[in-house]
Structure 1
Amino acid sequence: MSGHSKWANIKHKKGAADAKRGKIFTRLIKEITVAARMGGGDPDGNPRLRSAIVTARAENMPKDNITRAIKKGTGELEGEVYDEILYEGYGPGGVAVLVECMTDNRNRTVADIRHYFAKSGGNLGESGCVAYMFDKKGMMLVDKTTISEEALMELAIEAGADDVVEEDDYFQIVTAPEDFDAVRDELEEGGVSFAEASLTMVPQTTIEVTEEKPARALLKLLDNIEGHDDVQNVHANFDIDDDLMEQLS
């Protein structure tokens, strides 16, 4: 999970420091809207919506924005209709990449994503070409300043989590997808606050990228994809040495 964890932390740090806060809110609003459309506007009965709201609150999204997004999803307010699409491909060094999108224009989105892959020396593949290399997991990020590792480990394991991993400024709590909601709810009741909580795709194995040129091209590809307005999440099965990662980031 090393490469995935590093990229997840890079993304979170970039998001927290990103001056373009509106772009972060746009992505969260899309997720809230689609979650409400698919499962209803009550977060207590809609786990996906509840997760989206947790993340939105962690990013300090105003309550009014969350409420409007829910109402757009339930049809109480007029709003765009988004399609969920998963793109799969290979980046520099043969790294497998999954791209989760929400878009109101499939042709525009696929053209842009294909361009990013081609520009990096990779290629956008067919559906199913790399998804089998990943497992769905529940993932929660907890700021290390808010709780000790020992206390969190005890709470998380008792709640049914699979593991707690220390990564830079955060603890990552990992769960089976079917246990995610129960673990999150129990930890929240125990006073744990999350910087992020969502289902994600974790690679079964990772590819070591040891040379600067392909590593730089890979991170540029992931950064370009992440910056696209229609992209919600990016997953990749790479591992880069800590020293090289520090040099590149």
Structure 2
Amino acid sequence: MLSGLFARRTLATCPRSFSTTSTVLSGHNKWSKIKDRKGANDAQKGVLYGAANRDIIVAARAGGSPDPTKNSQLASIIRKYKDAGVPNANIEKALAKANPAKGKAGNAVVYEALAFGSVGIVVECLTDNATRTIHNVKHALTKHGAHMTPVKFMFERKGFVQLSLDAKLANLEEVTEGLIEAALGADAEDFEQYMDEEHPDAILLKFTSPPEALAKVTEAVTSSGVPSLHLQKSELIYSPVENVEPDEEMELQVADLVQELEADEDTLRIWTSLDSR
């Protein structure tokens, strides 16, 4: 069993190597953890409801339907936030915003920026007023000494799939091995396996792939018939070309900027060149 902060295996060269570790999640999840170190209370209702709104909209768009009966990823996200105490009214509002048929979905826009001289930032938004949204994004960036400029060369577009499994499965190793082999056959590139920090009785599996293989990998791992398997994410991500280990001061500066950008209700996802998957 391998251990450490981050363990990864390339499927093509090591399809049967397994690692169970604790790692830091990327995207705004990572920066939320850093903000915890600053004393921020992520259990506050405003933060929780904002995260629910973003995650529900992203899951609805990524899964191709705002109907949870037709979108297993969305169903999993809704279940998660209902368990966390998010009111049904908030969930229904997010679903309505994600539904193009109701005319409230808005347009997807992506902004690029450079922060602190070296950190690439990609901000994904969903808006019904692009002028308002870009004004708010620019204001947050300027406040933190950042500015808009092309930075996508600092990232690779990847497919990303995350699954949750019952850690108490009697044949857990056999099941995970089968899922990894299925992902390999569907052109997945890398995988990670580790304990779920929020739910100690669960194992998380992550797979990355070329963008065009996302649907194939998702289908391969979710059609396994494992009763306790839950699809948590299936989406396109911006993955840093180079992994950089920032110092604590840089992490806190980036966390402040991400927090400011996330405060806008039009923001869906934020990616930085300091993230790791």
With normalisation by structure 2, the TM-score equals: 0.64
Distance 1:137 1:18, change over 3 A: farther
Partner of 2:49: 22
Distance 1:132 1:53, change over 3 A: farther
1:184 aligns with 2:218: yes
Paired residues of 1:138 and 1:199 also in contact (CA < 8 A): yes
Distance 1:66 1:196, change over 3 A: farther
Unaligned 5+ residue runs, structure 1?
Answer: 241-249
Partner of 2:176: 152
Alpha-carbon distance between aligned partners in 1 of 2:62 and 2:245, rounded to the nearest angstrom: 35
1:129-171 per-position Cα deviation (integer Å, ceiling 9, x unaligned): 1113222212223346546466324313323222212466343
Matches within 5 A, 1:31-46: 31=58
Q: Secondary structure at the match of 1:209?
A: coil
AA paired with 1:188?
T
Residue range with higher mean Cα deviation, 164-173 or 106-115 = 164-173
Q: Count residues in correspondence.
A: 227
Paired residues of 2:163 and 2:233 also in contact (CA < 8 A): yes
Paired residues of 1:157 and 1:163 also in contact (CA < 8 A): no
Equivalent of residue 228 in structure 1, options 235, 246, 264:
264
Equivalent of residue 236 in structure 2, options 158, 176, 199:
199
Cα deviation for residue 189 of structure 1 reads 2.2
Paired residues of 1:137 and 1:175 also in contact (CA < 8 A): yes
Cα deviation for residue 22 of structure 1 reads 2.9
Unaligned 5+ residue runs, structure 2?
Answer: 1-5, 7-22, 37-41, 197-203
Paired residues of 1:136 and 1:200 also in contact (CA < 8 A): yes
Matches within 5 A, 1:93-172: 93-125=117-149, 129-143=150-164, 146=167, 148=172, 151-159=175-183, 160=186, 161-166=188-193, 169=196, 170-172=204-206
Identity of aligned residues (%): 22
Cα deviation for residue 25 of structure 1 reads 3.5
AA paired with 1:7?
S
1:238 aligns with 2:274: yes
Paired residues of 2:161 and 2:207 also in contact (CA < 8 A): yes
1:151-209 per-position Cα deviation (integer Å, ceiling 9, x unaligned): 32431332322221246634322122222222222322222213333221111113442
Q: CA RMSD in A?
A: 4.0
AA paired with 1:105?
N
Q: Secondary structure at the match of 2:264?
A: coil
AA paired with 1:179?
A
Alpha-carbon distance between aligned partners in 2 of 1:207 and 1:43, rounded to the nearest angstrom: 37
Alpha-carbon distance between aligned partners in 2 of 1:65 and 1:99, rounded to the nearest angstrom: 23
